[in-house]
Amino acid sequence: MLEADYVIVGSGSAGSALAYRLSEDGRHSVIVIEYGGSDIGPFIQMPSALSIPMNTSFYDWGFSSEPEPHLGNRVLATPRGKVLGGSSSINGMVYVRGHARDFDHWAEEGAAGWSFADVLPYFKRMEHSHGGEEGWRGTEGPLHVQRGRRRNPLYAAFIEAGHQAGFELTDDYNGRKQEGFGAMEQTIHRGRRWSAANAYLRPALKRKNVSLVKGFARRVTIENQRATGVEIEAQGSIQHVKARREVVLAASSINSPKLLMLSGVGPAAQLRDHGIEVIADRPGVGANLQDHLELYIQQEATKPVTLYSVLNPFSKALIGAEWLFFKTGLGATNHFEAAAFVRSKAGVDYPDIQYHFLPAAIRYDGRAAAKTHGFQAHVGPMRSKSRGTVTLRSADPADKPVIRFNYMSHPEDWEDFRHCIRLTRDIFAQPAFDTYRGEEIAPGSDVQSNAQLDDFISEHAESAYHPCGTCRMGRADDPLSVVDPECRVIGVDGLRVADSSIFPRITNGNLNGPSIMTGEKAADHILGRTPLPPSNQEPWINPRWRESDR
Residue 160 CB contacts under 8 Å (≥ 6 apart), including other chains = 430, 432
3-class SS of residue 308: helix
| 317 assigned binding-site residue | no
The reply, when asked if residue 200 is annotated as ligand binding, is: no
Determine whether the annotation assigns residue 166 to a binding site. no
* Residue 1 assigned ligand-binding role: no
Helix axes 411-428, 153-164, angle to 10 degrees: 110
Radius of gyration of the chain (CA): 23
Give Cα 305 distance to the centre of its chain: 30
Known binding residue 81? Answer is no
Tell me which residue of 282, 220, 279 sits closest to 251, measured CA to CA: 220
- Is 512 annotated as a binding-site member? no
324 is in an annotated binding site: no
CA distances from 416 to 88, 159, 352, 446, 467 (A): 29, 22, 10, 20, 19
Please state, in angstroms and rounded to a whole number, the distance separating the CA atoms of residues 119 and 104: 10
Binding site annotation covers 12? Answer: yes
163 is catalytic: no
301 assigned binding-site residue:
no
Q: How far apart are CA 264 and CA 245, in angstroms?
A: 20
Question: Closest Cα partner for 457 from 70, 64, 75, 69?
Answer: 70
Is 28 annotated for ligand binding? Answer: yes
Find out whether 17 is annotated in a ligand binding site: yes
5 belongs to an annotated ligand binding site:
yes
Cis upstream peptide for 313 (omega within 30°): no
Q: Is 315 annotated as a binding residue?
A: no
211 is known to lie in a ligand binding site:
no
23 known member of a binding site? yes
- Three-state secondary-structure class, residue 451: helix
32 is in an annotated binding site: yes
**C-beta separation of 456 from 318 below 8 A:** no
Asked if residue 309 belongs to a known ligand binding site, the reply is: no
Is 33 annotated as ligand-binding?
A: yes
415: amino acid identity, one letter: E
The answer to whether 11 is a known ligand-binding residue is yes
Q: Residues near 31 by Cβ (< 8 Å), separated by ≥ 6?
A: 2, 3, 4, 6, 7, 8, 210, 211, 212, 213, 241
Active-site residue (options: 144, 163, 292, 466): 466
Instruction: Report the chain's terminal Cα–Cα distance, integer Å.
Output: 61
Nearest residue to 499 via CA among 486, 485, 516: 516
DSSP at 278: P
Ligand-binding site membership of 454 (annotated): no
Please enumerate, by residue number, every residue annotated as part of a binding site: 5-34, 83, 91-94
Catalytic residues: 466
Binding residue ranges for FAD: 5-34, 83, 91-94
